[in-house]
Structure 1
């Protein structure tokens, strides 16, 4: 098969033998157009052959590439053969650096599923300028982290601009419903965070609300003071139509920084008064929701403290999922996600954007999102924003990603004005 860009493959799925990688490969085997050339890559040829045999029939002829994160030459050779690399091999602080370097050096596009602030900060500092020069789109977090946070804010910005209602001010994403289970890879990421916790500069980076905002070589903007990531808030302060108390959402530690980076990459389009946070809905009952929000907050503190203590972490390792494993069929068949993102503009207009996934968010929804992002880079490049460097999904893919997700049967997006 001949590609229009002169490389052997349109997409290489790296880490295809893992739980997430296999889900990504399965989505592409089912939904990618027949003229998109795809290869599977990983450390073991035998495991790659086994995974390929479980995929839809069109994948039977997909080439297999043996490549290892500990052998940079194999990654360099792989990156030189493809236009897009899709990777799910984490934790990225442990395994991601050599692959990212190979992608940038080869001038190909790169998509991952990381939710690791230090890794993304490292990639911005080390490779943003080279990726700009090479025309590479390095797109982190193209799945559950952090499209359900990033994309609704973009829809709010577009709606306010279309209505001539100024720019965004206080904006909050509320997780209304989430049914999913952690994978071994997600738990391993928490382990890596725990190992880094007491290293110099780590806590400062994690507590800096704008730790991912700036890029090398770009003018430093005056920053708007952002809300704390872990906080209990009255729902009515988010929007007067809401009741009860909202709990913190633990993923805000990462997602909020992605949204702020998008705003910076869009040259501050969301506005100088833009402030962003996330919360978790527990119940609308006033007293009960306040108690529940406190319990959730305490649970976060206890869990993170437990992981930070090596003896306790070793005990938890016996019970928690192992790397490469994933949730059972009951969760993947019945999972779902519903988020609402509220904003008020500088003119006082109120809007809400809604994203609903009628599928398990960690793997099924994620495989849709990263799969459609990869296909956008292959099939819609002439319609994408003229961006390169270390990007977010919105900055890299913009309206094209919105259109692609709208076209799926599982993910629903809408935006409306409330007053």
Structure 2
């Protein structure tokens, strides 16, 4: 293991030839940070060269960007690459298949890690197996640094911090609605969703556990998706939000870690996510959840049928084109209620998080890159620099909020209601 301060690279993008990996590299090229030393890593030299050529059209100085050959199945190649960098960004999914060896190598080599996974069963494996080792070596391992789950996680962190700092009150309830979204999906995302559905390492009971990833239990209980109208979100219909399956668990892990640090959002903290729809789409989605999804989950458990169905799905590497990505955007709203005495006036705030690129393949690339840059640029100022398997909020806190909102890249704001 080489000395951390003497390493050749500030960061390496692992999986740079994949769809999300290449776009993350483009984001790093766009910011043109002359003080950043970085490299591309992947299995195929020819494909890495193609990505580098694309980057050189954005910033000609990147024509000589270093290319590193590494394979998630070859420990020696991982150790060689990671011993040269302070931080690695991983976009190689499904993470349950390819992610663990890289994280293990990061802990061996003393390299900090961020990724774009939304595979919470895999994150649970990391916590159980590697959290203590990462803490002992003070290595930050931070999954879910994309659209799932940074907007949710930092949004809740933001409204809680506002409630504490302005009103000196704890938060008892936060609800979030994705009120507007425009974006595409990639084959890698589809493949990751399938991996979650077919994962045999986690029971159905654990899948439903609100505190699966948390360090302690809270007051939230398992619940089934329902539709309802909510005045706080324009009196629109609220229905199931696909990413809530991971986002809610990540937010509750953040709550538990902050509580362990003596900075809890609130002892009675509850959290729920929905998505805003018109009535008929909300009803149709809910019916699908109770009929088609359970049937598909059963079929995926039959190996022959699972292989046949997987072959019909988009392959990794596919995704929305540049024109589609340029039209992407999203807006989330958070309603937070303070913990007050029974006869006191209710104190409530509204938080808003907005992104102006495709959520999965524009803003995700921004978010994972800026997460890595938090470590590169501001390690000593980060709340999570003691290491462990962390969430974005507990790893980066206000440092990441500031980076994401710089020059209007994203909006994170909160106001009293």
Q: Give the TM-score, by structure 1 length.
A: 0.90
* Cα distance in 2 between the residues matched to 1:4 and 1:208: 38
Q: Which residue of 2 aligns with 1:396?
A: 395
* Cα distance in 2 between the residues matched to 1:254 and 1:349: 28
Q: Which residue of 2 aligns with 1:76?
A: 79
Judge conservation of contact 2:82–2:106 (CA < 8 Å) in 1: yes
Judge conservation of contact 2:181–2:328 (CA < 8 Å) in 1: yes
Does residue 306 of structure 1 match 2:296? Answer: yes
Judge conservation of contact 2:11–2:89 (CA < 8 Å) in 1: yes
Q: Which residue of 2 aligns with 1:204?
A: 205
Mark the CA change 1:141 to 1:304 in structure 2 (over 3 Å): closer, same or farther: farther
Does residue 39 of structure 1 match 2:32? Answer: no
Q: Which residue of 1 aligns with 2:268?
A: 273
112, 117, 123: which one pairs with 2:115? 112
223, 238, 245: which one pairs with 2:237? 245
130, 136, 158: which one pairs with 1:155? 158
Does residue 345 of structure 1 match 2:338? Answer: yes
* Cα distance in 2 between the residues matched to 1:63 and 1:341: 42
Mark the CA change 1:305 to 1:182 in structure 2 (over 3 Å): closer, same or farther: farther
SS at match of 2:320: coil
Q: Which residue of 1 aligns with 2:223?
A: 228
SS at match of 1:141: coil
When the two structures are aligned, how many residues end up with a matched partner? 399
Judge conservation of contact 2:4–2:86 (CA < 8 Å) in 1: no
Mark the CA change 1:17 to 1:308 in structure 2 (over 3 Å): closer, same or farther: farther
* Cα distance in 2 between the residues matched to 1:157 and 1:225: 17
- Considering only aligned residues, what root-mean-square deviation do their CA atoms show, in Å? 1.9
Alignment of 1:283-302 (within 5 A): 283=278, 289=279, 291-301=280-290, 302=292
Does residue 187 of structure 1 match 2:205? Answer: no
Q: Which residue of 1 aligns with 2:343?
A: none
SS at match of 1:266: helix
Q: Which residue of 2 aligns with 1:217?
A: none
Deviation at 1:244, TM superposition (A): 3.6
Deviation at 1:278, TM superposition (A): 0.3
Q: Which residue of 2 aligns with 1:329?
A: 322
Mark the CA change 1:77 to 1:304 in structure 2 (over 3 Å): closer, same or farther: farther
Judge conservation of contact 2:121–2:202 (CA < 8 Å) in 1: no
Deviation at 1:98, TM superposition (A): 0.4
* Cα distance in 2 between the residues matched to 1:383 and 1:321: 41
Unaligned runs of 5+ in 2: 341-345
Deviation at 1:408, TM superposition (A): 4.0
Judge conservation of contact 2:96–2:122 (CA < 8 Å) in 1: yes
Judge conservation of contact 1:169–1:274 (CA < 8 Å) in 2: yes
Judge conservation of contact 1:227–1:277 (CA < 8 Å) in 2: no
Does residue 127 of structure 1 match 2:130? Answer: yes
Q: Give the TM-score, by structure 2 length.
A: 0.91
- 1:293-321: CA deviations, max 9, x gaps? 22111223414532541466555545532
Does residue 21 of structure 1 match 2:21? Answer: yes
Deviation at 1:326, TM superposition (A): 1.2
Q: Which residue of 1 aligns with 2:375?
A: 377
Judge conservation of contact 1:178–1:336 (CA < 8 Å) in 2: yes
* Cα distance in 2 between the residues matched to 1:140 and 1:354: 23
Judge conservation of contact 2:4–2:110 (CA < 8 Å) in 1: no
Q: Which residue of 1 aligns with 2:30?
A: 30
Unaligned runs of 5+ in 1: 215-220, 284-288
